[in-house]
Structure 1
Amino acid sequence: MSKNVMYLILRSDLISLPDWTLGAVFTQIAHAATACIWTFRDDPNVIAYMMEMDSMHKVTLKVDDEDSLVKISERLKESNIDHKVWVEDNMPVCIAIKPQDRSKLKPIIGKLPLYK
């Protein structure tokens, strides 16, 4: 069984923006996850993750705003962690991190709260 996890990081301020319904906000997670899986589809971790499709593990974390999301993306880039930043209406709204072992990610995203 793979221990690869896909982390999604969503801006919590989106729900307070005009014209952003709860459904529209949650759709951003789906967009980011799908784009990430497709972008890294040939990666061994992604292949292992998708081979166990019925037991995929995803965790959704939150950040307060666009600046916080961009800073996380920069830290991921500096650490050579593959991820996809989903942009909607010309603004970054969600990050999907390529499925992988969570231990590599803890120093970067370990203190982010769950999106509840």
Structure 2
Amino acid sequence: MTTAATATSYVMYVILRRDLHTKLGWPLGAVCTQAAHAASAAMWIFRNDPNTEVYTSDLDAMHKVTLGVDSEEEIKKVADKLETRKIDHKVWIEDGFPVAIALKPYQKEEVKNALKGLKLY
């Protein structure tokens, strides 16, 4: 027996570069802003997607998970993996280089293999 998907069954994943803060010296607020840019852009791009419609049907129940990578090279590898697996996402570019990725809302099971090995930010 399957149950209908609800807003709480979807997660929006954001992948953020740790080195922006730790090695490049960006203020924490600026790093947080990059995650917000990526998430906002993904929500706008995929606003008419059925997953996004369900996810936003109860704004107080939205669930996001922020994962981290340690370098520009790593974030590019994640973006390539998402492209290969046809997982909808937005790579946020700041000052000419990738700083964050936001996936459209997905059920966890749909994307867990593509995100395997990434740790919480």
Higher-Rg structure is 2
Q: TM-score range by the shorter chain?
A: over 0.9
TM-score normalised per structure 1? 0.95
Task: Please name the residue that 2:10 is paired with.
Answer: 4
Amino acid at match of 2:59: M
* Displaced runs of 4 or more, over 4 A: none
Correspondent of 1:78 among 70, 79, 84: 84
Task: Please name the residue that 2:19 is paired with.
Answer: 13
Amino acid at match of 1:4: Y
Correspondent of 1:102 among 96, 103, 108: 108
Equivalent pairs, count:
114
SS of match in other structure, 1:108:
coil
Supply the distance in 2 between the matched residues of 1:49 and 1:25 (Cα, whole angstroms).
25
Amino acid at match of 1:60: T
SS of match in other structure, 1:8:
strand
Identity %: 51
Residue 47 of structure 2 is aligned to residue 41 of structure 1: yes
Would you tell me which structure has more strand in proportion to its own residues?
A: 1
TM-score normalised per structure 2? 0.91
Supply the distance in 1 between the matched residues of 2:88 and 2:19 (Cα, whole angstroms).
25
Task: Please name the residue that 2:30 is paired with.
Answer: 24
| CA shift for structure 1 position 9 | 0.3
Supply the distance in 2 between the matched residues of 1:108 and 1:80 (Cα, whole angstroms).
10
Structure 1: give runs of 5+ residues left out of the alignment: none
What is the RMSD of the two structures over their aligned residues, measured on CA atoms?
Answer: 0.8
| CA shift for structure 1 position 25 | 0.5
1:56-67 pair list within 5 angstroms: 56-67=62-73
Structure 2: give runs of 5+ residues left out of the alignment: 1-5
